[in-house]
Structure 1
Amino acid sequence: MKIVVIGGTGLIGSKLVRELGGLGHQAVPASPGSGVDTLTGEGLAEVLAGAQVVVDVSNSPSFADDAVMDFFRTSTGNLLDAEEKAGVGHHVALSVVGTERLAESGYFRAKIAQEKLIEDSGRPYSIVRATQFFEFVRSIAEAATDGDTVRLSDARIQPIAGDDVAGAVGRAAVGAPLDGTVEVAGPEQFGLDELIRKGLAFQGDPRDVVADPDARYFGALLERDTLLPSADAQLSTTRFEEWLPLNPPPAK
Protein backbone atom coordinates (compact mmCIF):
# COMPACT_ATOMS: atom_id res chain seq x y z
CA MET A 1 0.00 0.00 0.00
CA LYS A 2 1.30 3.47 -0.86
CA ILE A 3 1.11 5.72 2.20
CA VAL A 4 2.26 9.34 1.89
CA VAL A 5 3.52 10.83 5.16
CA ILE A 6 3.25 14.62 5.23
CA GLY A 7 5.95 15.82 7.61
CA GLY A 8 7.72 12.52 7.00
CA THR A 9 11.18 13.83 7.90
CA GLY A 10 10.20 15.12 11.36
CA LEU A 11 10.29 13.43 14.77
CA ILE A 12 7.16 11.31 14.39
CA GLY A 13 7.13 11.22 10.60
CA SER A 14 10.60 9.68 10.28
CA LYS A 15 9.73 6.99 12.83
CA LEU A 16 6.46 6.31 11.02
CA VAL A 17 8.11 5.98 7.61
CA ARG A 18 10.56 3.41 9.01
CA GLU A 19 7.78 1.46 10.71
CA LEU A 20 5.49 1.34 7.69
CA GLY A 21 8.38 0.44 5.41
CA GLY A 22 9.29 -2.40 7.75
CA LEU A 23 5.75 -3.72 7.38
CA GLY A 24 6.15 -3.84 3.61
CA HIS A 25 4.27 -0.68 2.69
CA GLN A 26 5.50 1.98 0.30
CA ALA A 27 5.91 4.79 2.81
CA VAL A 28 6.73 8.07 1.06
CA PRO A 29 8.02 10.96 3.20
CA ALA A 30 6.81 14.32 1.92
CA SER A 31 8.07 17.72 3.05
CA PRO A 32 9.23 21.01 1.55
CA GLY A 33 12.70 19.46 1.37
CA SER A 34 11.37 16.79 -0.99
CA GLY A 35 9.52 19.32 -3.13
CA VAL A 36 6.09 18.97 -1.47
CA ASP A 37 4.68 22.16 0.03
CA THR A 38 1.20 21.84 1.51
CA LEU A 39 0.89 25.62 1.95
CA THR A 40 1.27 26.33 -1.77
CA GLY A 41 0.11 22.94 -3.05
CA GLU A 42 3.40 22.44 -4.89
CA GLY A 43 4.17 18.77 -5.52
CA LEU A 44 0.95 17.42 -3.95
CA ALA A 45 -0.62 16.00 -7.11
CA GLU A 46 2.60 14.21 -8.02
CA VAL A 47 3.29 12.65 -4.62
CA LEU A 48 -0.35 11.59 -4.06
CA ALA A 49 -0.64 9.77 -7.39
CA GLY A 50 -1.48 6.15 -6.61
CA ALA A 51 -1.63 6.67 -2.85
CA GLN A 52 -4.25 4.88 -0.78
CA VAL A 53 -3.56 6.74 2.48
CA VAL A 54 -2.23 10.16 3.48
CA VAL A 55 -0.91 10.67 7.00
CA ASP A 56 -0.44 14.26 8.18
CA VAL A 57 2.04 14.63 11.03
CA SER A 58 3.30 18.03 9.91
CA ASN A 59 3.56 21.02 12.23
CA SER A 60 3.63 24.77 11.82
CA PRO A 61 7.10 26.36 11.67
CA SER A 62 5.72 29.25 13.75
CA PHE A 63 3.51 29.08 16.84
CA ALA A 64 2.45 32.73 16.58
CA ASP A 65 -1.35 32.84 16.69
CA ASP A 66 -2.06 34.04 13.15
CA ALA A 67 0.74 32.04 11.54
CA VAL A 68 -0.19 28.72 13.13
CA MET A 69 -3.87 29.17 12.27
CA ASP A 70 -3.00 29.98 8.66
CA PHE A 71 -0.71 26.96 8.47
CA PHE A 72 -3.21 24.37 9.66
CA ARG A 73 -6.17 25.82 7.76
CA THR A 74 -4.31 26.24 4.48
CA SER A 75 -2.25 23.06 4.66
CA THR A 76 -5.18 20.85 5.67
CA GLY A 77 -7.49 22.39 3.08
CA ASN A 78 -4.95 21.88 0.30
CA LEU A 79 -4.31 18.30 1.39
CA LEU A 80 -7.98 17.35 1.50
CA ASP A 81 -8.63 18.89 -1.92
CA ALA A 82 -5.62 17.14 -3.46
CA GLU A 83 -6.61 13.81 -1.88
CA GLU A 84 -10.09 14.02 -3.37
CA LYS A 85 -8.68 14.66 -6.83
CA ALA A 86 -6.19 11.79 -6.45
CA GLY A 87 -8.78 9.34 -5.12
CA VAL A 88 -7.03 8.82 -1.79
CA GLY A 89 -9.26 6.71 0.45
CA HIS A 90 -8.08 7.59 3.96
CA HIS A 91 -6.82 10.77 5.64
CA VAL A 92 -5.02 10.27 8.96
CA ALA A 93 -4.01 13.22 11.14
CA LEU A 94 -2.04 13.47 14.37
CA SER A 95 -3.54 15.81 16.95
CA VAL A 96 -3.32 16.43 20.69
CA VAL A 97 -5.22 15.07 23.68
CA GLY A 98 -7.20 17.86 25.35
CA THR A 99 -7.22 20.12 22.29
CA GLU A 100 -10.86 21.13 22.80
CA ARG A 101 -10.04 22.19 26.39
CA LEU A 102 -7.11 24.39 25.39
CA ALA A 103 -8.81 27.03 23.24
CA GLU A 104 -7.08 29.87 25.15
CA SER A 105 -3.95 28.89 23.23
CA GLY A 106 -3.56 30.08 19.65
CA TYR A 107 -1.81 26.83 18.77
CA PHE A 108 -4.64 24.68 20.05
CA ARG A 109 -7.28 26.87 18.42
CA ALA A 110 -5.50 26.07 15.17
CA LYS A 111 -5.55 22.34 15.95
CA ILE A 112 -9.29 22.60 16.67
CA ALA A 113 -9.73 24.25 13.27
CA GLN A 114 -7.69 21.51 11.61
CA GLU A 115 -9.80 18.76 13.16
CA LYS A 116 -13.03 20.49 12.13
CA LEU A 117 -11.88 20.81 8.53
CA ILE A 118 -11.17 17.09 8.44
CA GLU A 119 -14.44 16.13 10.12
CA ASP A 120 -16.51 18.36 7.81
CA SER A 121 -14.71 17.37 4.61
CA GLY A 122 -16.74 14.26 3.84
CA ARG A 123 -13.47 12.37 3.33
CA PRO A 124 -12.85 9.05 5.17
CA TYR A 125 -10.57 9.93 8.07
CA SER A 126 -8.96 8.96 11.36
CA ILE A 127 -7.66 11.46 13.94
CA VAL A 128 -5.10 10.18 16.44
CA ARG A 129 -4.85 12.40 19.50
CA ALA A 130 -1.68 11.85 21.55
CA THR A 131 -0.59 13.21 24.90
CA GLN A 132 2.65 15.18 25.15
CA PHE A 133 5.80 13.39 23.96
CA PHE A 134 8.74 12.51 26.22
CA GLU A 135 10.94 14.12 23.56
CA PHE A 136 9.50 17.58 24.29
CA VAL A 137 10.61 17.85 27.93
CA ARG A 138 13.36 20.32 27.09
CA SER A 139 11.25 22.48 24.76
CA ILE A 140 8.49 22.71 27.40
CA ALA A 141 11.12 23.79 29.90
CA GLU A 142 12.54 26.38 27.51
CA ALA A 143 9.12 27.92 26.96
CA ALA A 144 8.57 28.22 30.72
CA THR A 145 12.02 29.47 31.74
CA ASP A 146 12.67 32.85 33.37
CA GLY A 147 16.33 33.21 34.22
CA ASP A 148 17.29 30.00 36.05
CA THR A 149 13.71 29.16 37.05
CA VAL A 150 11.18 27.06 35.18
CA ARG A 151 7.59 27.83 36.22
CA LEU A 152 5.06 25.17 35.33
CA SER A 153 1.60 24.11 36.35
CA ASP A 154 1.28 21.01 38.51
CA ALA A 155 -1.64 19.81 36.35
CA ARG A 156 -1.57 16.09 35.62
CA ILE A 157 -0.08 14.78 32.40
CA GLN A 158 0.29 11.27 30.96
CA PRO A 159 3.14 11.59 28.45
CA ILE A 160 4.10 9.11 25.75
CA ALA A 161 7.23 8.08 23.85
CA GLY A 162 7.50 9.24 20.26
CA ASP A 163 8.02 5.65 19.06
CA ASP A 164 4.68 4.70 20.63
CA VAL A 165 2.96 7.65 18.95
CA ALA A 166 4.35 6.52 15.60
CA GLY A 167 3.09 3.02 16.31
CA ALA A 168 -0.43 4.27 17.04
CA VAL A 169 -0.50 6.45 13.93
CA GLY A 170 0.80 3.54 11.88
CA ARG A 171 -1.98 1.27 13.12
CA ALA A 172 -4.53 3.89 12.15
CA ALA A 173 -2.97 4.30 8.72
CA VAL A 174 -3.16 0.62 7.79
CA GLY A 175 -6.62 0.14 9.32
CA ALA A 176 -10.05 1.11 8.12
CA PRO A 177 -11.01 4.79 8.51
CA LEU A 178 -12.51 5.49 11.93
CA ASP A 179 -14.41 8.58 10.82
CA GLY A 180 -13.66 9.61 14.37
CA THR A 181 -10.93 10.06 16.96
CA VAL A 182 -8.76 7.72 19.01
CA GLU A 183 -6.61 8.82 21.96
CA VAL A 184 -3.20 7.41 22.91
CA ALA A 185 -1.20 8.05 26.07
CA GLY A 186 1.67 6.73 28.12
CA PRO A 187 1.28 4.29 31.03
CA GLU A 188 1.82 6.69 33.95
CA GLN A 189 0.80 10.13 35.19
CA PHE A 190 2.97 12.95 36.51
CA GLY A 191 2.48 16.52 37.55
CA LEU A 192 3.66 18.62 34.61
CA ASP A 193 6.24 20.27 36.86
CA GLU A 194 7.30 16.84 38.16
CA LEU A 195 7.82 15.46 34.66
CA ILE A 196 10.02 18.35 33.58
CA ARG A 197 11.94 18.29 36.87
CA LYS A 198 12.74 14.59 36.39
CA GLY A 199 13.77 15.09 32.80
CA LEU A 200 16.03 18.07 33.46
CA ALA A 201 17.62 16.40 36.49
CA PHE A 202 18.50 13.34 34.41
CA GLN A 203 20.12 15.61 31.82
CA GLY A 204 22.13 17.41 34.49
CA ASP A 205 20.25 20.67 33.87
CA PRO A 206 20.60 22.89 36.98
CA ARG A 207 17.45 24.97 36.45
CA ASP A 208 15.00 25.08 39.34
CA VAL A 209 11.52 23.82 38.41
CA VAL A 210 8.80 25.55 40.45
CA ALA A 211 5.16 24.48 40.61
CA ASP A 212 2.94 27.46 39.82
CA PRO A 213 -0.80 26.78 39.31
CA ASP A 214 -1.10 30.07 37.41
CA ALA A 215 1.65 29.22 34.92
CA ARG A 216 0.30 28.94 31.38
CA TYR A 217 0.91 26.07 29.00
CA PHE A 218 1.50 27.50 25.52
CA GLY A 219 -0.89 30.30 26.46
CA ALA A 220 -3.56 28.23 28.21
CA LEU A 221 -4.34 28.06 31.92
CA LEU A 222 -4.59 24.42 32.99
CA GLU A 223 -7.08 22.70 35.24
CA ARG A 224 -5.87 19.60 37.04
CA ASP A 225 -7.11 17.17 34.36
CA THR A 226 -6.93 19.30 31.20
CA LEU A 227 -4.09 17.30 29.65
CA LEU A 228 -5.28 13.83 30.63
CA PRO A 229 -6.73 11.34 28.15
CA SER A 230 -10.19 9.83 28.35
CA ALA A 231 -10.82 6.55 30.17
CA ASP A 232 -10.93 4.62 26.87
CA ALA A 233 -7.56 5.88 25.58
CA GLN A 234 -5.10 3.31 24.26
CA LEU A 235 -2.15 3.12 26.66
CA SER A 236 1.41 2.37 25.60
CA THR A 237 3.92 0.53 27.80
CA THR A 238 7.12 2.62 27.59
CA ARG A 239 7.82 4.28 30.95
CA PHE A 240 9.64 7.62 31.21
CA GLU A 241 12.40 6.29 33.44
CA GLU A 242 13.05 3.46 30.94
CA TRP A 243 13.08 5.87 28.03
CA LEU A 244 15.46 8.47 29.50
CA PRO A 245 18.73 6.50 29.47
CA LEU A 246 18.05 5.34 25.91
CA ASN A 247 17.58 8.92 24.71
CA PRO A 248 20.39 11.08 26.12
CA PRO A 249 20.47 14.77 25.14
CA PRO A 250 22.75 15.77 22.26
CA ALA A 251 26.36 16.36 23.23
CA LYS A 252 27.16 20.03 23.82
Structure 2
Amino acid sequence: MKIVIIGGTGLIGAKTAERLRKHGHEVIAASPNTGVNTITGKGLADVLTGAEVVVDLANSPSFEDKAVLEFFQTSGRNLFAAEKAASVKHHVALSIIGTDRLPDSGYLRAKVTQEKIIRESGIPYTIVRSTQFFEFLRGIAQEGTVGDTARLSTGYLQPIASDDVADFVTDAALASPVNGVVEISGPERLRLCDFVARYLKATGDTRTVIADPEARYFGTRLQDGSLVSDNHPRIGRVGFDEWFAAQPKK
Protein backbone atom coordinates (compact mmCIF):
# COMPACT_ATOMS: atom_id res chain seq x y z
CA MET A 1 0.00 0.00 0.00
CA LYS A 2 1.26 3.47 -0.85
CA ILE A 3 1.14 5.88 2.09
CA VAL A 4 2.10 9.55 1.83
CA ILE A 5 3.18 11.37 4.99
CA ILE A 6 2.84 15.14 4.76
CA GLY A 7 5.50 16.51 7.09
CA GLY A 8 7.22 13.18 6.80
CA THR A 9 10.70 14.48 7.61
CA GLY A 10 9.81 15.89 11.04
CA LEU A 11 10.00 14.30 14.49
CA ILE A 12 6.83 12.22 14.29
CA GLY A 13 6.89 11.91 10.50
CA ALA A 14 10.31 10.26 10.34
CA LYS A 15 9.45 7.81 13.12
CA THR A 16 6.10 6.96 11.53
CA ALA A 17 7.67 6.46 8.10
CA GLU A 18 10.19 4.02 9.58
CA ARG A 19 7.44 2.00 11.25
CA LEU A 20 5.24 1.84 8.16
CA ARG A 21 8.15 0.74 5.98
CA LYS A 22 8.88 -2.07 8.42
CA HIS A 23 5.29 -3.21 7.82
CA GLY A 24 6.19 -3.49 4.13
CA HIS A 25 4.39 -0.43 2.78
CA GLU A 26 5.57 2.06 0.19
CA VAL A 27 6.02 5.28 2.18
CA ILE A 28 6.66 8.71 0.72
CA ALA A 29 7.91 11.31 3.22
CA ALA A 30 6.64 14.54 1.68
CA SER A 31 7.72 18.04 2.70
CA PRO A 32 8.87 21.27 1.05
CA ASN A 33 12.40 19.87 1.26
CA THR A 34 11.35 16.95 -0.95
CA GLY A 35 9.48 19.14 -3.43
CA VAL A 36 5.96 18.85 -1.98
CA ASN A 37 4.34 22.02 -0.65
CA THR A 38 0.76 22.02 0.62
CA ILE A 39 0.63 25.84 0.69
CA THR A 40 1.52 26.36 -2.96
CA GLY A 41 0.19 22.96 -4.05
CA LYS A 42 3.52 22.15 -5.71
CA GLY A 43 4.13 18.43 -6.11
CA LEU A 44 0.86 17.31 -4.49
CA ALA A 45 -0.76 15.76 -7.55
CA ASP A 46 2.31 13.71 -8.43
CA VAL A 47 3.08 12.46 -4.94
CA LEU A 48 -0.53 11.41 -4.25
CA THR A 49 -0.92 9.41 -7.44
CA GLY A 50 -1.75 5.85 -6.38
CA ALA A 51 -1.81 6.69 -2.66
CA GLU A 52 -4.42 4.97 -0.49
CA VAL A 53 -3.62 6.74 2.77
CA VAL A 54 -2.41 10.26 3.57
CA VAL A 55 -1.01 11.05 7.01
CA ASP A 56 -0.97 14.79 7.66
CA LEU A 57 1.68 15.81 10.20
CA ALA A 58 2.44 19.23 8.71
CA ASN A 59 2.77 22.21 11.05
CA SER A 60 2.83 25.93 10.54
CA PRO A 61 6.29 27.56 10.46
CA SER A 62 4.77 30.50 12.38
CA PHE A 63 2.64 30.33 15.54
CA GLU A 64 1.34 33.89 15.12
CA ASP A 65 -2.46 33.76 15.25
CA LYS A 66 -3.24 34.91 11.72
CA ALA A 67 -0.38 33.03 10.11
CA VAL A 68 -1.15 29.70 11.70
CA LEU A 69 -4.84 29.94 10.83
CA GLU A 70 -4.03 30.75 7.20
CA PHE A 71 -1.56 27.86 7.11
CA PHE A 72 -4.09 25.21 8.13
CA GLN A 73 -6.85 26.68 5.96
CA THR A 74 -4.70 26.85 2.82
CA SER A 75 -2.92 23.56 3.43
CA GLY A 76 -6.22 21.78 4.09
CA ARG A 77 -7.91 23.11 0.97
CA ASN A 78 -5.01 22.19 -1.29
CA LEU A 79 -4.44 18.80 0.28
CA PHE A 80 -8.05 17.65 0.09
CA ALA A 81 -8.46 18.83 -3.49
CA ALA A 82 -5.46 16.71 -4.43
CA GLU A 83 -6.65 13.75 -2.32
CA LYS A 84 -10.06 13.75 -4.02
CA ALA A 85 -8.44 13.84 -7.44
CA ALA A 86 -6.24 10.88 -6.44
CA SER A 87 -9.14 8.92 -4.84
CA VAL A 88 -7.36 8.68 -1.47
CA LYS A 89 -9.26 6.32 0.83
CA HIS A 90 -8.14 7.46 4.30
CA HIS A 91 -6.88 10.75 5.74
CA VAL A 92 -5.09 10.59 9.11
CA ALA A 93 -4.22 13.81 10.95
CA LEU A 94 -2.41 14.50 14.21
CA SER A 95 -4.10 17.05 16.46
CA ILE A 96 -4.03 18.08 20.12
CA ILE A 97 -6.13 17.17 23.13
CA GLY A 98 -7.78 20.37 24.36
CA THR A 99 -8.19 22.03 20.96
CA ASP A 100 -11.86 22.73 21.58
CA ARG A 101 -11.44 23.76 25.24
CA LEU A 102 -8.96 26.65 24.91
CA PRO A 103 -10.43 29.30 22.58
CA ASP A 104 -8.00 31.97 23.83
CA SER A 105 -5.17 30.13 22.06
CA GLY A 106 -4.81 31.24 18.45
CA TYR A 107 -2.90 28.07 17.63
CA LEU A 108 -5.61 25.81 19.04
CA ARG A 109 -8.32 27.82 17.28
CA ALA A 110 -6.44 27.06 14.07
CA LYS A 111 -6.35 23.34 14.94
CA VAL A 112 -10.13 23.44 15.48
CA THR A 113 -10.43 24.90 11.98
CA GLN A 114 -8.18 22.16 10.61
CA GLU A 115 -10.35 19.48 12.21
CA LYS A 116 -13.51 21.09 10.77
CA ILE A 117 -12.00 21.04 7.27
CA ILE A 118 -11.16 17.35 7.71
CA ARG A 119 -14.69 16.47 8.86
CA GLU A 120 -16.27 18.33 5.97
CA SER A 121 -13.86 17.03 3.30
CA GLY A 122 -15.91 14.00 2.33
CA ILE A 123 -12.84 11.75 2.64
CA PRO A 124 -12.89 9.02 5.32
CA TYR A 125 -10.67 10.17 8.18
CA THR A 126 -9.14 9.54 11.58
CA ILE A 127 -8.07 12.43 13.82
CA VAL A 128 -5.48 11.41 16.41
CA ARG A 129 -5.52 13.91 19.29
CA SER A 130 -2.42 13.73 21.45
CA THR A 131 -1.29 15.23 24.72
CA GLN A 132 1.96 17.21 24.70
CA PHE A 133 5.18 15.35 23.91
CA PHE A 134 7.93 14.96 26.51
CA GLU A 135 10.11 16.80 24.00
CA PHE A 136 8.03 19.95 24.66
CA LEU A 137 8.79 20.17 28.39
CA ARG A 138 11.85 22.36 27.88
CA GLY A 139 9.87 24.84 25.80
CA ILE A 140 7.03 24.92 28.33
CA ALA A 141 9.55 25.72 31.07
CA GLN A 142 11.11 28.45 28.96
CA GLU A 143 7.74 30.05 28.20
CA GLY A 144 7.08 30.62 31.91
CA THR A 145 10.59 31.71 32.87
CA VAL A 146 11.66 35.15 34.01
CA GLY A 147 15.20 35.25 35.37
CA ASP A 148 15.77 32.22 37.56
CA THR A 149 12.08 31.54 38.16
CA ALA A 150 9.55 29.58 36.11
CA ARG A 151 5.96 30.53 36.97
CA LEU A 152 3.78 27.73 35.65
CA SER A 153 0.16 26.63 35.57
CA THR A 154 -1.31 24.11 37.99
CA GLY A 155 -3.42 22.51 35.24
CA TYR A 156 -2.74 18.85 34.66
CA LEU A 157 -0.33 17.48 32.06
CA GLN A 158 -0.03 13.89 30.83
CA PRO A 159 2.78 14.04 28.28
CA ILE A 160 3.64 11.27 25.86
CA ALA A 161 6.84 10.04 24.21
CA SER A 162 7.19 10.78 20.51
CA ASP A 163 7.88 7.08 19.93
CA ASP A 164 4.45 6.25 21.36
CA VAL A 165 2.85 8.96 19.21
CA ALA A 166 4.44 7.42 16.11
CA ASP A 167 3.19 3.97 17.15
CA PHE A 168 -0.38 5.25 17.51
CA VAL A 169 -0.27 7.21 14.24
CA THR A 170 1.04 4.09 12.50
CA ASP A 171 -1.81 2.04 13.96
CA ALA A 172 -4.33 4.63 12.73
CA ALA A 173 -2.84 4.66 9.22
CA LEU A 174 -3.14 0.86 8.94
CA ALA A 175 -6.63 0.62 10.43
CA SER A 176 -9.97 1.50 8.88
CA PRO A 177 -11.06 5.15 9.16
CA VAL A 178 -13.03 5.87 12.34
CA ASN A 179 -14.54 9.09 10.97
CA GLY A 180 -13.95 10.58 14.38
CA VAL A 181 -11.32 11.19 17.04
CA VAL A 182 -8.87 8.84 18.74
CA GLU A 183 -7.19 10.30 21.85
CA ILE A 184 -3.73 9.31 23.07
CA SER A 185 -1.88 10.15 26.29
CA GLY A 186 1.22 9.32 28.24
CA PRO A 187 1.04 7.01 31.28
CA GLU A 188 1.65 9.61 34.03
CA ARG A 189 -0.47 12.59 35.05
CA LEU A 190 0.89 15.43 37.15
CA ARG A 191 0.22 19.14 37.44
CA LEU A 192 2.09 21.01 34.72
CA CYS A 193 4.23 22.87 37.23
CA ASP A 194 5.21 19.59 38.91
CA PHE A 195 6.04 17.82 35.64
CA VAL A 196 8.26 20.67 34.52
CA ALA A 197 9.94 20.79 37.94
CA ARG A 198 10.67 17.08 37.57
CA TYR A 199 12.16 17.67 34.13
CA LEU A 200 14.32 20.58 35.31
CA LYS A 201 15.62 18.57 38.25
CA ALA A 202 16.51 15.68 35.94
CA THR A 203 18.48 18.03 33.69
CA GLY A 204 20.28 19.69 36.59
CA ASP A 205 18.51 23.01 35.95
CA THR A 206 18.40 25.11 39.13
CA ARG A 207 15.44 27.31 38.18
CA THR A 208 12.78 27.67 40.86
CA VAL A 209 9.29 26.59 39.79
CA ILE A 210 6.34 28.54 41.20
CA ALA A 211 2.89 26.94 40.94
CA ASP A 212 0.40 29.60 39.84
CA PRO A 213 -3.19 28.79 38.76
CA GLU A 214 -3.26 32.11 36.87
CA ALA A 215 -0.02 31.50 34.94
CA ARG A 216 -0.61 31.45 31.21
CA TYR A 217 0.20 28.47 29.02
CA PHE A 218 1.28 30.06 25.74
CA GLY A 219 -1.21 32.88 26.31
CA THR A 220 -4.17 30.97 27.72
CA ARG A 221 -5.27 30.07 31.26
CA LEU A 222 -5.65 26.36 31.95
CA GLN A 223 -8.33 24.61 33.92
CA ASP A 224 -7.35 21.38 35.68
CA GLY A 225 -8.49 19.24 32.75
CA SER A 226 -7.75 21.47 29.77
CA LEU A 227 -4.82 19.45 28.38
CA VAL A 228 -5.74 15.92 29.46
CA SER A 229 -8.37 13.37 28.50
CA ASP A 230 -10.69 11.27 30.65
CA ASN A 231 -12.44 9.93 27.53
CA HIS A 232 -10.69 6.54 27.61
CA PRO A 233 -7.55 7.63 25.72
CA ARG A 234 -5.07 5.08 24.46
CA ILE A 235 -2.12 5.12 26.85
CA GLY A 236 1.52 5.05 25.77
CA ARG A 237 4.01 2.61 27.24
CA VAL A 238 6.93 5.00 27.86
CA GLY A 239 7.03 6.92 31.13
CA PHE A 240 9.10 10.01 31.84
CA ASP A 241 12.04 8.23 33.49
CA GLU A 242 12.43 5.76 30.62
CA TRP A 243 12.11 8.54 28.06
CA PHE A 244 14.64 10.76 29.81
CA ALA A 245 17.15 7.93 30.22
CA ALA A 246 17.07 7.40 26.44
CA GLN A 247 17.82 11.03 25.56
CA PRO A 248 21.29 11.93 24.25
CA LYS A 249 23.39 13.40 27.03
CA LYS A 250 25.15 16.65 26.26
Q: Aligned partners of 1:248, 1:226: CA distance in 2, in Å?
A: 31
Q: Aligned partners of 1:32, 1:43: CA distance in 2, in Å?
A: 9
Deviation per CA, 1:193-217: give whole Å up to 9, x if none.
1111111211122222211111111
Match of 1:46 in 2: 46
Q: Report the CA distance between 1:5 and its aligned residue.
A: 0.5
Q: Aligned partners of 2:91, 2:173: CA distance in 1, in Å?
A: 8
Q: Report the CA distance between 1:247 and its aligned residue.
A: 1.1
Match of 2:9 in 1: 9
Q: Report the CA distance between 1:178 and its aligned residue.
A: 0.7
Q: Aligned partners of 1:58, 1:200: CA distance in 2, in Å?
A: 29
Q: Report the CA distance between 1:35 and its aligned residue.
A: 0.6
Q: Aligned partners of 1:27, 1:202: CA distance in 2, in Å?
A: 37
Match of 1:61 in 2: 61
Instruction: State the AA in 2 paired with 1:52.
Output: E
Instruction: State the AA in 1 paired with 2:118.
Output: I
Instruction: State the AA in 1 paired with 2:230.
Output: S
Q: Aligned partners of 2:27, 2:130: CA distance in 1, in Å?
A: 21
Secondary structure of 2:100's partner?
Answer: helix
Greater displacement, 139-148 / 45-54: 139-148
Q: Aligned partners of 2:219, 2:236: CA distance in 1, in Å?
A: 28
Q: Report the CA distance between 1:248 and its aligned residue.
A: 3.6
Deviation per CA, 1:98-148: give whole Å up to 9, x if none.
110011100000000000000111111000000010111111112222122
Q: Report the CA distance between 1:77 and its aligned residue.
A: 1.4
Q: Aligned partners of 1:119, 1:55: CA distance in 2, in Å?
A: 15
Match of 2:246 in 1: 246
Count residues with an aligned counterpart. Answer: 250
Q: Aligned partners of 1:20, 1:87: CA distance in 2, in Å?
A: 21
Match of 2:154 in 1: 154
Match of 1:31 in 2: 31
Q: Aligned partners of 1:219, 1:125: CA distance in 2, in Å?
A: 31
Q: Aligned partners of 2:212, 2:169: CA distance in 1, in Å?
A: 34
CA RMSD in angstroms comes to 1.0
Percent of aligned positions that are identical = 54
Instruction: State the AA in 2 paired with 1:139.
Output: G
Displaced runs of 4 or more, over 3 A: none
Q: Aligned partners of 2:164, 2:244: CA distance in 1, in Å?
A: 14
Is 2:127 the counterpart of 1:95?
no
Gaps of 5+ in 2: none
Cα 1:70/1:56, change in 2 over 3 Å: same
Q: Aligned partners of 1:88, 1:24: CA distance in 2, in Å?
A: 19
- 1:197 touches 1:209 (CA, 8 Å); kept in 2? yes
Match of 2:219 in 1: 219
Match of 2:83 in 1: 83
Q: Aligned partners of 1:3, 1:230: CA distance in 2, in Å?
A: 31
Q: Aligned partners of 2:143, 2:13: CA distance in 1, in Å?
A: 23
Gaps of 5+ in 1: none
Alignment map for 1:130-169 (pairs within 5 Å): 130-169=130-169
Q: Aligned partners of 1:205, 1:76: CA distance in 2, in Å?
A: 40
Deviation per CA, 1:43-65: give whole Å up to 9, x if none.
10111111100000111111000
Give the TM-score, by structure 1 length: 0.97
- 1:203 touches 1:248 (CA, 8 Å); kept in 2? no
Give the TM-score, by structure 2 length: 0.97
Alignment map for 1:103-142 (pairs within 5 Å): 103-142=103-142
- 1:158 touches 1:188 (CA, 8 Å); kept in 2? yes
- 1:12 touches 1:165 (CA, 8 Å); kept in 2? yes
Instruction: State the AA in 1 paired with 2:247.
Output: N
Q: Report the CA distance between 1:242 and its aligned residue.
A: 1.4
Q: Aligned partners of 2:248, 2:151: CA distance in 1, in Å?
A: 23
Q: Report the CA distance between 1:230 and its aligned residue.
A: 2.7
Q: Report the CA distance between 1:231 and its aligned residue.
A: 3.0
Secondary structure of 1:101's partner?
Answer: coil
Instruction: State the AA in 2 paired with 1:207.
Output: R
Q: Aligned partners of 2:56, 2:215: CA distance in 1, in Å?
A: 31
